[in-house]
Amino acid sequence: MSDSPNLLLPEWTDLWQQTLNWSPTPTQQAQFQALLIQLCELNKSVNLTRITDPEDFWEKHLWDSLWGIQPWLNHPSEDLRAIDIGTGGGFPGCPVAIVQPQWQVTLLDSTRKKVACLEALCQGLPLSNAYPVCDRAEELGKNPRYRGKFDVALIRAVGPVSSCAEYAIPFLKVGGTAVVYRGQWSIEEEQILQRALTQLGSELTDLRAITTPLTQSQRHCLHLKKVQSTPSKFPRKVGLPTQQPLGIE
């Protein structure tokens, strides 16, 4: 039960089951509730998210974060390394770390104040399998401790799709998957992405569309598989992936 009745998170077990064929355990539900409360507390000092109404939070942060990893939701025994690039207030990385306690989830953001909040959040929940890191994806993606080390890279709302690919692919092991969360999706974006992926040594293996269960918004999710090691020139220097996105002719 929440200490703040106005922040009581709905359970909606049936809705989880109908839409993702999965539902949280009581422990995970309690962690989701604690995540909402702590985020609202931290939000008083640092702007982490505008989405704090419990139903909105359920759909736009919890449900949306988890539908992207649906192929892994029913395989909890796998022990994977994941990175959430441009995690902001911890999405999709925190819900993913909660439902996959055996994964190691790096939460990367370039804004120091947000990362300090995420450190407090991970200590407070606690969320011992999530590791906040402050850096630019362009810099950390060159660091040998992080480059080529992840099975899964998650990226939501961090610029044009080919910039997301350029940030994410270098972090992956060959055979790893980048999960790119998008709202609308177009043929033009797909053509740009395909050209970018050729340069990055990656392939689009899955493109799914879904309508969100509460507000009926359109969402898309792309899975990009790394098929060969990334040329050392990627990611390019800070700023270039968004100023001059790959694949634009």
> For binding to ligand SAM (CB under 6 A), which residues are involved?
86-89, 91, 108-111, 114, 136-138, 156-158
Using alpha carbons only, give the angle 29, 35, 37 rounded to the nearest 5 degrees. 110
- Nearest CA to 70 among 23, 110, 35? 23
- In the complex with ligand SAM, the residue whose CB is nearer, 113 or 195, is 113
Q: How far is the CB of 106 from ligand SAM (least distance, A)?
A: 11
- In the complex with ligand SAM, the residue whose CB is nearer, 168 or 197, is 168
Q: How far is the CB of 195 from ligand SAM (least distance, A)?
A: 21
- In the complex with ligand SAM, the residue whose CB is nearer, 180 or 193, is 180
Q: How far apart are CA 43 and CA 48, in angstroms?
A: 6
Q: How far is the CB of 170 from ligand SAM (least distance, A)?
A: 12
Q: How far apart are CA 107 and CA 199, in angstroms?
A: 26
Q: Provide the 3-class DSSP secondary structure of residue 103.
A: coil
- In the complex with ligand SAM, the residue whose CB is nearer, 137 or 193, is 137
- Nearest CA to 39 among 61, 63, 59, 65? 61
Q: Taking a C-beta distance cutoff of 8 angstroms, is the pair 89, 66 a contact?
A: no
Q: How far is the CB of 26 from ligand SAM (least distance, A)?
A: 26
